[in-house]
């Protein structure tokens, strides 16, 4: 059995722990590797290596850092297909979708290539007689990233390119379910000329995460994953004096008004609900059909759901792959059953789907559940599978109230041809990322990504300007260069500008 090891100090490291976790091929249902699970000693070694590397990397010039980032950008671009295939084999998503996530990660690298501009400080001349004030930002030290299984390349790239460009060093703890993409990314950083120890990868589970959260030399923690773990990471990391941004789960609603073009809206709904088998934090999992839109919408969406080509991620004909593990499949299947038991209508039932030649794969077919009530488990839970729940409301205001009553606030969308309704929606919903006739409104890399409410714990969103702010801290310098003969002696009142 192949063992996936850590990457510490610019090379592969087996670590000292004997614990491992299986890595599956979701399309075949077979175990393809095992991944080492780091213990406290392994985390200590990665953090010590990163802390030593910080001494020199934090002093490197902006142009040195930019050159490495541009080289890294080129290498990720060249190796996009390789990264995408690794993702597909361990996550299950189709290769074209995996290429898309690498592309979106690459956009953050491109944003970070502009670090000389992003780190420009402020300067105020002559704030008082002979006094100038200026500010500049410095890196924090060792930053840790703890990331989910669903975007094994993109989500870490929300973090490490920005952190490293800012002069920090980084320890990444990727998901133990699909760990290999991070190892190739580590090799590409090394090939790009990043000094050893600036970017490290440790695999593991709670034991490794807790060791990072408790390590005194970890200055900041970026987390993306489910809400209960995000809350825990924020609490424990903050209690240990670290800067923490912890992005959690989601229940993203897409509102469809009767004036929306039906074909356009339904195409986008099925793509956003079933793409990547619904395992996206910005997946649309609740369609909110307003007024007379409902019946026809359910009919058209159901027809399109039945037409989705489900198969192994490596098959170019597949539009949707399996879910990540057998446990994930069983949970999704159970939730679909609960919808039927609790009185919803299964318009399309994806349970029991088998793919010829891949009978042991972790497949669930696209599922559409109509007449979903807000107390039902399928509405309250983040299903994280290819399941679209349809909730019916009478007005756009009722749809806004529904969204605002939900504990999550990651993304949402509205489909309409009314500018007035769209504007009311964008101003009224308590959600961090909003799409208007755009189903998965993931902001471009030069904006910041983050939800509201239980979808984010901490103050800063990731990448974009807030990412740069998260990975740096400011100094403000007040300076005076007096001529010696100007001295007027000591003054004991509180200094004010003159
Ligand atoms: P998860 O919370 O199970 O795991 C995320 C990370 O936390 C992994 O690295 C895992 O090893 C670690 N972890 C798991 N249990 C832990 C514990 N008890 N203590 C400490 N660490 C622990 O999430 P997942 O299943 O890998 O990913 C899916 C979730 O991530 C979904 O809820 C999805 O919405 C969310 N997500 C959110 C965003 C966002 O931007 N808000 C983006 C992607 C995914």
Would you say residue 487 has pLDDT above 80? no
Residues 425-452 have a mean pLDDT of: 97
Query: What ipTM goes with this model?
Result: 0.98
Which atom of ligand 1 sits closest to the CA of residue 148?
26
CA of 281 to the centre of ligand 1 (A): 10
Which residues are marked as active site?
281
Which atom of ligand 1 sits closest to the CA of residue 250?
34
Question: Which tens digits make up the pLDDT trace of 258-314?
Answer: 999 999 999 999 999 999 999 999 999 999 999 998 999 999 999 999 999 999 999
- Cβ contact 158:236 at 8 Å: no
Question: Which tens digits make up the pLDDT trace of 391-432?
Answer: 999 999 999 999 999 999 999 999 999 999 999 999 999 999
Report the pLDDT value the prediction gives residue 485, as an integer from 0 to 100: 66
What is the C-alpha to C-alpha distance for residues 95 and 86, in angstroms, rounded to an integer? 9
CA of 229 to the centre of ligand 1 (A): 7
CA of 352 to the centre of ligand 1 (A): 27
Residues 179-184 have a mean pLDDT of: 98
DSSP 149: S
Q: What interhelical angle do 180-191 and 62-78 show, nearest 10? A: 130
The sheet with strand 6-8 has its strands ordered as 11-13, 6-8, 199-201, 169-173, 142-146, 218-224, 243-247, 456-457
Which atom of ligand 1 sits closest to the CA of residue 151?
43
Strands (E) across 9-154 are located at 11-13, 20-25, 30-36, 122-128, 131-139, 142-146
Task: List all residues whose CB is within 6 A of at least one atom of ligand 1.
Answer: 146-151, 155, 173, 175-176, 205-206, 209, 224-226, 229, 247-250, 281, 382, 384, 410, 451, 455
> Which CATH number is 3-248+455-477's, of 3.40.605.10, 3.40.50.720, 3.20.20.140, 3.40.630.30?
3.40.605.10
Report the pLDDT value the prediction gives residue 495, as an integer from 0 to 100: 82
**pLDDT band at 497; cut points 50, 70, 90:** confident
Would you say residue 100 has pLDDT above 90? yes
What is the C-alpha to C-alpha distance for residues 251 and 116, in angstroms, rounded to an integer? 37
Model's pTM, two decimal places?
Answer: 0.97
- Cβ contact 86:153 at 8 Å: no
What is the C-alpha to C-alpha distance for residues 474 and 493, in angstroms, rounded to an integer? 27
User: Among residues 286, 305, 307, 298, which one has the least CA distance to residue 262?
Assistant: 298
> Domain 252-436 falls in which CATH fold?
Aldehyde Dehydrogenase; Chain A, domain 2 (3.40.309)
Would you say residue 498 has pLDDT above 80? no
What is the C-alpha to C-alpha distance for residues 427 and 67, in angstroms, rounded to an integer? 42
**Beta-carbon neighbour count of residue 239 at 10 Å?**
11
Question: Which tens digits make up the pLDDT trace of 324-368?
Answer: 999 999 999 999 999 999 999 999 999 999 999 999 999 999 999
Could you state, in order of their start, the residue ranges of all structural domains in the chain? Answer: 3-248+455-477, 252-436
Nearest CA to ligand 1 atom 9: 175
CA of 280 to the centre of ligand 1 (A): 12
CA distances for 413 relative to 69, 149, 254, 431, angstroms: 34, 24, 5, 10
Which atom of ligand 1 sits closest to the CA of residue 455?
41
């Amino acid at each position: 059995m192949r063992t996936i090891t850590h990457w510490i100090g610019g090379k592969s490291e087996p670590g000292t722990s004997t614990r491992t976790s299986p890595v599956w091929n979701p399309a075949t249902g077979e175990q393809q590797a095992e991944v080492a699970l780091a213990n406290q000693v392994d985390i200590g070694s990665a953090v010590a290596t990163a802390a030593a590397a910080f001494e020199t990397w934090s002093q490197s010039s902006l142009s040195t850092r930019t050159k490495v980032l541009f080289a890294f950008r080129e290498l990720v671009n060249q190796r996009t297909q390789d990264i995408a295939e690794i993702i597909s084999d361990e996550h299950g998503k189709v290769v074209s979708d995996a290429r898309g996530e690498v592309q979106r990660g690459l956009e953050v690298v491109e944003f970070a290539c502009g670090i000389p501009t992003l780190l420009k400080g402020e300067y105020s001349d002559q704030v008082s007689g002979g006094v100038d004030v200026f500010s500049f930002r410095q890196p924090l030290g060792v930053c840790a990233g703890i990331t989910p299984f669903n975007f094994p390349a993109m989500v870490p790239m929300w973090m490490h390119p920005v952190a490293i460009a800012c002069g920090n060093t980084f320890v990444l703890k990727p998901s133990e379910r699909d760990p290999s993409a991070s190892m190739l990314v580590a090799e590409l950083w090394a090939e790009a000329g990043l000094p050893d120890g600036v970017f490290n990868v440790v695999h593991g589970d709670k034991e490794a995460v807790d060791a990072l959260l408790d390590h005194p030399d970890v200055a900041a923690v970026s987390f993306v994953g489910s809400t209960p773990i995000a809350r825990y990471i924020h609490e424990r990391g903050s209690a240990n004096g670290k800067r923490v941004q912890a992005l959690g789960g989601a229940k993203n609603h897409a509102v469809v008004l009767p004036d929306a073009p039906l074909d356009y809206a339904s195409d986008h709904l099925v793509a956003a609900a079933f793409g990547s088998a619904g395992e996206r934090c910005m997946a649309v999992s609740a369609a909110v059909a307003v007024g007379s839109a409902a019946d026809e919408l359910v009919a058209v969406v159901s027809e399109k759901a039945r037409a989705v080509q489900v198969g192994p991620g490596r098959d170019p004909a597949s539009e949707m792959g399996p879910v990540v593990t057998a446990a994930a499949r069983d949970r999704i299947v159970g939730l679909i059953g609960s919808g039927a038991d609790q009185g919803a209508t299964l318009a399309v039932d994806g349970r029991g789907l088998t793919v010829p030649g891949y009978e042991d794969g972790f497949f669930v077919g696209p599922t559409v559940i109509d007449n979903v009530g807000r107390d039902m488990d399928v509405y309250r839970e983040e299903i994280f599978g290819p399941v679209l729940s349809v909730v019916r409301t009478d007005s756009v205001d009722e749809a806004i109230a529904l969204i605002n009553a939900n504990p999550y606030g990651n993304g949402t969308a509205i489909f309409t041809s009314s500018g007035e309704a769209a504007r009311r929606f964008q101003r009224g919903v308590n959600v961090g990322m909003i799409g208007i006739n755009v189903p998965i409104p993931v902001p471009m890399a030069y904006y910041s990504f983050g939800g509201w409410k239980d979808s984010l714990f901490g103050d800063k969103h990731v990448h974009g300007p807030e990412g740069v702010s998260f990975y740096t801290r400011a100094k403000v310098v007040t300076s005076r260069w007096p001529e010696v003969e100007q001295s007027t002696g000591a003054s004991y009142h509180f200094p004010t500008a003159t």
